[in-house]
Amino acid sequence: MNSLSFDLKNAMRLLCKDNRWNVLTVLMLHSNVRNRCWPSMDIITAMGSNGNRAKAVRAKKWLIKHKALELVPTKQRHPDETHLPPRQHIYQLTGIIQACNDPECDCKADGKTYAYYNVQDLKSFNGETIKSSTVEIIDGETLSSPIESNPIKDSTPSSDDVIPSTSNDDKPDTAKQENDAINALIEVWIDEQKVIDKKAYGKTGYRSVAKQLYQEGITPEDVRKFIQYRKQDAFWQDKLVVWGHIQGNIATWKAKQIAPVAPPPRPAGEPASVFDLMG
Ligand SMILES: [Zn+2]
C-alpha cells in the first residue's frame, strides 16, 4: 500500500473542489500493487460523488487532464486485465498531479507538479506508468458512455432460443424458475462482495452470464464459494470479482472441487483398462 505524500498539503486546494479528492480516493482504494484499478462508473459515482454521475465524470476528467490518472491502452494491459471487456476503463494511478496548460483552469497553469503518493513508494513499485503520448484521450461523452455502467460484454445470445427445449406444458414454470435462478445468482454476487449497484439485477450483461451459469448447473452457493476462493488471493482482495471472470473460470474451479473418485478395484489378473493406461 502506498503512503500519502506530504506534498498533498499543497495540492489540497485543487483536490477539495468538485469531488476530485473523493474520486481519487475511490480509485486509490481499488488499486492493486501496480497502482491500477478498474471500478465501474457506477461504483465511482456511488462512493465518490454521492450518486451524482455528472460530478464523478467531471472529477475524473480533471484528474486525467492533470495526469493524476492515466487510462491504460488496451494493448498495454497486464495479463491479469485481459479478461476485462475491451472498453472497460483501466486506470493507472501516477502518484502525481501536474498543472495543465490551460490558463483558464483553476490550476492556473503554473507549471507545478505535486506528488500525492510518497515518492519512495513509487520508486519501489518498479514504475509502470504509461507514456502520456500513448494515453487515449477520452472526452466527456465517452467517459459517461453506457458501456461503463454495463461493463460485461454479452457473450451469449440474449434471445430466448438458448433456453434448452422443454415441453411447452411447463414452459411458464421453467421461465419463472430460470428467472428466479438468475436473480439468486446475482443476489449472491452482490451480497458476497457488498456491491453498491442499484441496477445490478437489470443489467443484461449480468443476466446473460448468470443465465449461462444456471444452464451449466452452477448454483448460487458455487458462485459464493468461488468468490471466497478468489478473495484468498491477494490480487483479488480489493477488487470486484467480475462476471466475465466468473464465467471464464468457475466451471474449471468447480470440477476441481469434486474429489477424484477412486476406480473400483480390479479383479487380480485382469488387464488394465484403456482408461488406466491413459492415466
Ligand atoms: Zn489545469
**Gap between the Cα atoms of 204 and 112, Å rounded:** 45
Supply the angle between the helices 220-231 and 243-257 in degrees, to the nearest 10: 100
Span from the CA of 45 to the centroid of ligand 1 (angstroms): 22
The whole-number pLDDT of residue 49 equals 96
The whole-number pLDDT of residue 235 equals 83
Span from the CA of 65 to the centroid of ligand 1 (angstroms): 7
Span from the CA of 39 to the centroid of ligand 1 (angstroms): 25
**Overall average pLDDT of the 75-103 stretch:** 92
Span from the CA of 19 to the centroid of ligand 1 (angstroms): 15
The whole-number pLDDT of residue 175 equals 84
Span from the CA of 112 to the centroid of ligand 1 (angstroms): 10
**Overall average pLDDT of the 42-46 stretch:** 96
pTM score: 0.48
**Gap between the Cα atoms of 96 and 214, Å rounded:** 45
Does residue 271 surpass a pLDDT of 80? no
pLDDT in tens, 113-160: 999 998 776 665 544 444 433 333 333 323 333 333 333 333 333 333
Is the Cβ–Cβ distance between 38 and 236 less than 8 Å? no
Q: Is 132 helix (H, G, I), strand (E, B) or coil?
A: helix
Span from the CA of 62 to the centroid of ligand 1 (angstroms): 8
The lowest-confidence range among 22-31, 86-95, 130-139, 142-151 is 142-151
The whole-number pLDDT of residue 259 equals 65
The whole-number pLDDT of residue 201 equals 86
Span from the CA of 149 to the centroid of ligand 1 (angstroms): 28
The whole-number pLDDT of residue 205 equals 84
Does residue 105 surpass a pLDDT of 50? yes
Span from the CA of 48 to the centroid of ligand 1 (angstroms): 21
Span from the CA of 120 to the centroid of ligand 1 (angstroms): 26
Strand duo 36-37 + 69-71: pairing: unpaired
Is the Cβ–Cβ distance between 216 and 251 less than 8 Å? yes
Half-sphere exposure in the Cβ direction for 115 (13 Å, CA): 13
Higher pLDDT, 26 or 118: 26
Angstrom distances, CA of residue 172 to CA of 62, 169, 176, 179: 51, 8, 6, 10
Rg of the chain (C-alpha set): 24
- Residues in CB range of 250: below 8 A, 6 or more apart: 213, 218, 222, 223, 226
